[in-house]
């Protein structure tokens, strides 16, 4: 194993790691040598810890809901108490409450925002406080990696997931703020928009290959990239958003100005807006920019999910 990609001696926290993508990420990090704090609700985390230990790794389970703000502190403390420090955070935990906007209840909104966005923020805040203190004690930058889980749904919305799309957009903004705010301490923060065949996406992707062959949507494919972003090799990468699935990784560009409209005499009238903007947008596919990103859409209903 290359020293640049090895995680020997590092400690990672992975949320929502009891199954699916989070489980694959925890196993992949352990496979690269990391100690792993496995978080999930219920007893699922214990099973993943057992898997890691059976493979010769070191791991500990911390059960609980990341939507509880104090869970962030509990996870960081578990990493420090058990393994002596914290180097990597992979925020993955999430829930779905899919509804069209007109059917969305307050609890549908609150549950998704709380687990996805608040959960990411709670763990990131606790890790940030730990790394800031460690950097001050060391008198310079230390090692820190954050990998957050966004989604393609944040790019153009998802008709049946207004809550989920909003949460994932917030996670993207949180990632950019984390990257900027913690850069001086040596921390690198990036976001992934993954596609993987898990229980959460069973209704979207269906079953894997019947012949047991290599699954193009295997979560392990995403986990390999997460292991890279967690490694020393990713030192120059921060504040980026990647779409990850199958045999490809797509780096998204930052938002850019597509077109500028200027008032002829310095002050717009409604008629002038109509004359400039209506022809520009008439007949256009509002989802055309997926192709510009080199990312295939799943469908027009917006069922992209992590």
Question: Annotated catalytic, 168?
Answer: yes
Catalytic residue among 143, 168, 185, 231: 168
- Can you spell out the DSSP letters for 24-37? HHHHHHHHTT-EEE
Closest by Cα among 91, 78, 85, 214 to 148: 91
Q: Identify whether 287 is a catalytic site residue.
A: no
Selecting among 151, 158, 227, 231, the annotated active-site residue is 151
Contact 175, 150 (CB under 8 A): yes
**Residue matched to tokens 């906007």:** 101
Burial of 51 (0-12, 13-18, 19+ CB in 10 A): middle
Burial class (CB in 10 A: 0-12, 13-18, 19+), 55: exposed
Token representation of residue 150: 């966004």
Residue 77 CB coordination number (10 Å): 15
Residue whose pair of structure tokens reads 């494919």 in the numeric block = 221
The residue annotated as part of the active site, out of 143, 164, 185, 245, is: 164
Q: What angle do CA 88, 94, 100 make, to 5 degrees?
A: 145
Catalytic positions are: 151, 164, 168
């Amino acid at each position: 194993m290359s020293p640049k990609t090895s995680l020997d001696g590092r400690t990672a926290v992975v949320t929502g790691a009891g199954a699916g993508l989070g489980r694959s990420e925890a196993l992949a990090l352990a496979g690269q040598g990391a100690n792993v704090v496995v978080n999930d609700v219920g007893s699922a985390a214990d099973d993943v810890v057992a898997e890691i230990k059976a493979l010769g790794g070191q791991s500990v389970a911390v059960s609980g809901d990341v939507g509880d703000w104090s869970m962030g502190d509990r996870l960081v403390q578990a990493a420090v108490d058990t393994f002596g420090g914290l180097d990597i955070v992979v925020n993955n935990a999430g829930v779905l409450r899919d509804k069209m906007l007109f059917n969305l209840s307050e609890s549908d909104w609150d549950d998704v925002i709380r687990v996805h966005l608040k959960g990411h923020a709670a763990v990131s805040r606790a890790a940030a406080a730990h790394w800031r203190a460690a950097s001050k004690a060391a008198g310079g930058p230390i090692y820190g990696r954050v990998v957050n889980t966004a989604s393609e749904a944040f790019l153009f919305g998802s008709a049946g997931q207004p809550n989920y799309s909003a949460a994932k957009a917030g996670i993207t903004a949180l990632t950019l703020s984390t990257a900027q705010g913690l850069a001086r301490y040596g921390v690198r923060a990036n976001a992934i928009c993954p596609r993987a065949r898990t229980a959460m996406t069973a209704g979207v992707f269906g079953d894997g290959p019947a012949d047991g062959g290599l699954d193009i949507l295997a979560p392990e494919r995403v986990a390999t990239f997460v292991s890279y972003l967690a490694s020393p090799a990713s030192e120059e990468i921060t504040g980026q958003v990647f779409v990850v699935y199958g045999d490809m990784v797509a780096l998204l560009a930052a938002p850019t100005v597509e077109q500028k409209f200027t008032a002829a005499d310095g002050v717009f009238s409604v008629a002038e807006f109509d004359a400039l903007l209506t022809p520009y947008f008439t007949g256009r596919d509002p989802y055309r920019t997926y192709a510009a990103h080199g990312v295939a859409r799943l469908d027009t209903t917006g069922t992209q999910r992590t």
